[in-house]
A and B are shown apart, each in its own frame.
Chain A
Amino acid sequence: MLSRTAENLFWMARHIERAENTARILDVAHRSSLLPLDIEGTEAYLWYAPLNITGCAAAYEEKFGLARADAVTHYMALEPENPSSIHSCLRLARENARSVRGAITSEMWEVINSTWLEINRLSRTMSDERYPDFFEWVKERSHLFRGVTVGTILKDIALSFIRLGTFLERADNTARILDVKYHILLPSVADVGGAADYYQWGSLLKSVSAFEAYKKIYRDVISPLRVAELFILRDDMPRSLHACMNEVETALTHINGMSGREARRLAGEIHADLHFGRIENVFARGLHEYLTEFLESTDLLGREIRDAYLSRRDYLPAAAMRQVA
């Protein structure tokens, strides 16, 4: 496959997944803001979380100052100037898809294209009560895209690059959500078992669609340790780090070729760590430190993948060099 095609497929999938995750993060922030939380300056405190998770706090502050519910939501959902807003992600997903129309099925293209056309039909601003429906819509479009992809595309290397993009992005997001939210919620751990606590931790679980899974697996009150375990180590939870790295590793083994040995090794190492890890050890090392290290490793993995498969290595042919000289 053309390196550029692989690159476009990879980023198409990453941007769709990122749009979905941003919708999830904002959705949870919205729900949380409706719940009591016993902290000073609640609004700003709560609304920094989405900005921190997606790494756009600095850019936001420069433009709008203090984090406010409506401004943050708009900035992250619809602002075209924000390169990581849902709007921008859907645009970039479409641009990437448009460059590789031959490599994706027409059904996939139709989903991506009509999603982009629909978000463009929305007004530039949206009233507060319409946002939950909007987030739901973004999630649905992403689900639809994944379903259509699996249901229509040939199981070849194109699919491997799409899955690589999807699951690297998802792993990244799950790690960030857990890192940021966990530390907001920890102060209330003293209040374990209280109603507020239950709803707050519940909303964190819901942000990765893991609320029902938690109930099913643990049949117990929500404990921070178990939430972390579910997010990180359970390979049966589809948005956990372990599950994502399962997919990343599988996708990499399906990509043939001489290059990419280091990417495969690194993916194997990250995966093994999750596969054999114990949550007690994670906490012994420190959750934040653990997640930071995980994000660094996946970032490195992303760069290895780029170097091995996606970039056109600068290649100045002999003929050109002669002419230039």
Chain B
Amino acid sequence: MALTLVLAAGGFGAGAFGALLGLGGGVLIVPMLALGFGLPLREAVGVSLLSVIATSSASAATYLRRGTANLRLGLTLEILTVIGALVGGLVAFALDERLIAAAFSLMLVYVALSMARQRTAPATPPAPDEAVVEPDPDVTGDDQVETDGLAASLSHPDYEVRNLPLGLALSGLAGMVSALLGVGGGIIKVPTMHLAMGLPLRAATATSNLTIGVTASASAALYILRDSIDPLVAAPVLVGTFLGATAAARLAPRVPVAVLRWVFVLVLLFVAFQMITRAVGPGAVA
């Protein structure tokens, strides 16, 4: 019974964390299950994928109702993400994982520094029932705004989408990295939408939450088909994840953007460290 409750508590933390940051919580669940409970890595990844979907499903409804998640933009980026995941899955065995992990970790450090250098909006949390998207003053540069065509159709009443081709390319990369390294695409998609495409951070995390479930569902289906999911471990984790993600989605408007930004920077650096370890560590796979 104690183990069941510990797994549920871990799921709660990962769900809350994932829903707030648009990451899905896989960066916490995989180490927790593999290192903390000795679960084989493949089974840990399988449970993590289900947890990502649960986080996405439990939080995205709230973000959609509030108008924070951009459904149209999320779907557009998702086409490239799913295709990227397919390509990543196909080339996964032909590439040196250590090289990919090293390159990825360098990119994460660069993204973390870019996010850390950004000016932050005043940390005044809006009332829960207020409009949800809090524009960041640093992402509304008029010089780069695309106002016509597809980008305009994907924009939101509170912000404009810019650099759509770059956003699409990076979404494809997010899918590839997700398949190659077993990390959620949100770790790339949130910075892409926020830094490159001009979405406020809240809108980027909410839109990422909406789409990461779709990305994870294809992989999760395969894990189920291959009997690589332990239902007795997955169940308590999922219960905790549902509860944590639901609570975090309701709490999200009260969390200042500056706090979200700095937590995200720390997570990026943590994942970069994990990737460096994977690249140079004794367990690295050639």
Do A and B come together as binding partners?
no
